[in-house]
């Protein structure tokens, strides 16, 4: 006799959790957008100026990263972007087309090597699992930088990377990881690696109580209230609320943290804009009152994408078909590249 599994939680289009604990992430939304969630195989040859490869960085856990290497013919050592993908901690992978399409562009524009982490997903691996994966990837980069005292070696990174210019970057929930990994890193001596900057893009900072923007701004293809509520219910430690420090760091003590220079990216029409801006103000105020903990006085910059919604730049259909989305995507990429070049 075959027992039917029953759905106990569903996030429309993206994910279904069954009563036996299994999870199905098969895309069930409009078929015309499915390609954005399809994996792109790695290619060691340069295609449109970028080569990619997947590397296992911890054989014991199986933790992997995808490396994006821009054509290095005319460059010296390149900065590193340590990238954390979004997906509400529950969906998406580093090799999805939506990330490939934008981070190949960013690698070329910023003349930087992107190292994107294949994060463990909830609910099978609840937080802080993804944060630990991100931090492990940073420590792996440090081991590569210690080439004289470590057996670690990655040909592309050891040949072309500048470990004195490592930047954390993350989309949506990946922006939460940028804060968390930077906070943990601030408690360590990472030498000879240097954490040069942090770039949270539309981070998933929220509170238990709905913000004004959550109540008033339109939902977007990449963020609905249903996604906010259900993904975080599945991702946070059992018994936790959205006021948990990973999803609500502005509710914790920020002034005591050692954070690197930051480019904070916000979309004007983001559902969670208000709580994102609350975090920005908290970091700015901490910088103004406790400058000794930071690398420079005016260390946090704000980049606002006019008229755009959450993670708009990952929507390849909109980027290709809507002039305004294309323009704001280019401004975002250029703003990130300019920030990297300054640091």
Give the pLDDT confidence score for residue 2 in this predicted structure: 61
Give the pLDDT confidence score for residue 152 in this predicted structure: 79
CA separation (Å) from 111 to 71, 76, 160?
9, 10, 11
Q: What is the pLDDT of residues 89-129, one digit of tens each?
A: 999 999 999 999 999 999 999 999 999 999 999 999 999 99
Give the pLDDT confidence score for residue 148 in this predicted structure: 54
Rounded CA gap, 198 and 178, in Å? 7
CA angle 295, 296, 301 (to 5 degrees): 110
What are the structure tokens assigned to 214, written together?
A: 């959550």
φ, ψ for residue 307, nearest 5 deg: 70, 10
Q: What is the pTM of this model?
A: 0.96
Return the exposure string of 41-72: e unless at least 16 CB atoms fall within 10 Å of the residue's CB, then b.
Answer: eeeeeeeeebbbeebebeeeeebbbbbbbbeb
- Whether residue 123 is preceded by a cis peptide bond, meaning omega within 30 degrees of 0, is yes
Give the pLDDT confidence score for residue 284 in this predicted structure: 92
What string of H, E and C letters represents the secondary structure of the chain? CCCCCCEEEEECCCEEEECCCCEECCCCCCHHHHHHHCECCCCCCCECCEEEEEEEEECCCCEEEEEEEECCCCCCCEEEEEEECCCCCCCCCCCEHHHHHHHHHHHHHHCCEEEEECCCCCCCCCCCHHHHHHHHHHHHHHHHHCCCCCCCCCHHHHHHEEEEEEEEEEECHHHHHHHHHHHHHCCCCCCCCCEEEEEEECCCCCCCCCCHHHHHCCCECCECHHHHHHHHHHHCCCCCCCCCCCCCHHHCCCCCCCCCCEEEEEECCCCCHHHHHHHHHHHHHHHHHCHHHCCCCCCEEEEEECCCCCCHHHCHHHHHHCHHHHHHHHHHHHHHHHHHHHC
For tokens 């601030």, the residue is 186
Rounded CA gap, 340 and 334, in Å? 10
Q: What band does 315 get if pLDDT is binned at 50, 70 and 90?
A: very high
Q: What is the pLDDT of residues 19-77, one digit of tens each?
A: 999 999 999 999 999 999 999 999 999 999 999 999 999 999 999 999 999 997 677 89
Residue of 292 and 239 predicted with greater confidence: 239
Which span out of 151-155, 162-166, 252-256 was modeled with the highest average pLDDT? 162-166
Q: What is the pLDDT of residues 77-93, one digit of tens each?
A: 999 999 999 999 999 99
Q: What band does 298 get if pLDDT is binned at 50, 70 and 90?
A: very low
- The mean of the pLDDT values for the chain is 93
User: Domains (ranges, CATH) in the chain?
Assistant: 38-342 (3.40.50.1820)
Rounded CA gap, 108 and 238, in Å? 41
């Amino acid at each position: 006799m075959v027992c039917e599994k029953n759905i106990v939680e569903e996030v429309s289009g993206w994910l279904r959790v069954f009563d036996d604990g299994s999870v199905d992430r098969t895309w069930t939304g409009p078929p015309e957008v499915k390609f954005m969630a399809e994996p792109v195989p790695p290619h060691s040859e340069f295609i449109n100026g970028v080569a990619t490869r997947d590397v296992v960085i911890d054989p014991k856990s199986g933790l992997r990263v995808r490396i994006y290497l821009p054509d290095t013919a005319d460059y010296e050592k390149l900065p590193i972007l340590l990238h954390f993908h979004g997906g509400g901690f529950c969906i998406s992978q580093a090799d999805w087309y939506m990330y490939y399409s934008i981070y190949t562009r960013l690698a070329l524009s910023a003349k930087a090597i992107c190292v994107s982490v294949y994060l463990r997903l909830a609910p099978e691996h609840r937080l802080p699992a993804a944060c630990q994966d991100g931090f492990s990837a940073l420590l792996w980069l440090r081991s590569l930088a210690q080439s004289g005292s470590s057996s670690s070696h990655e040909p592309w990174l050891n040949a072309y990377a500048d470990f004195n210019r490592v930047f954390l970057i993350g989309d949506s929930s990946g922006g939460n990881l940028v804060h968390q990994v930077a906070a943990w890193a601030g408690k360590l001596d990472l030498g000879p690696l240097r954490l040069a900057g942090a770039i949270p893009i539309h981070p998933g900072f929220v509170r238990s109580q709905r913000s004004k923007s959550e109540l008033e701004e339109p939902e977007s293809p990449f963020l609905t209230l249903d996604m906010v509520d259900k993904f975080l219910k599945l991702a946070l430690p059992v018994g936790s609320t959205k006021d948990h420090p990973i999803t609500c760091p502005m509710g914790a003590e920020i002034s005591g943290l050692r954070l690197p220079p930051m480019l904070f990216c916000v979309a004007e029409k983001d559902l969670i804009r208000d709580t994102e801006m609350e975090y920005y103000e908290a970091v700015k105020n901490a910088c103004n009152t406790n400058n000794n903990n930071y690398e420079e006085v005016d260390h946090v910059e704000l980049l606002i994408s006019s008229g755009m919604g959450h993670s708009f730049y990952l929507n390849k259909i909109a980027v290709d078909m809507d002039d305004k989305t294309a323009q704001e995507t280019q401004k975002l990429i250029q703003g990130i590249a300019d920030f990297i070049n300054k640091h």
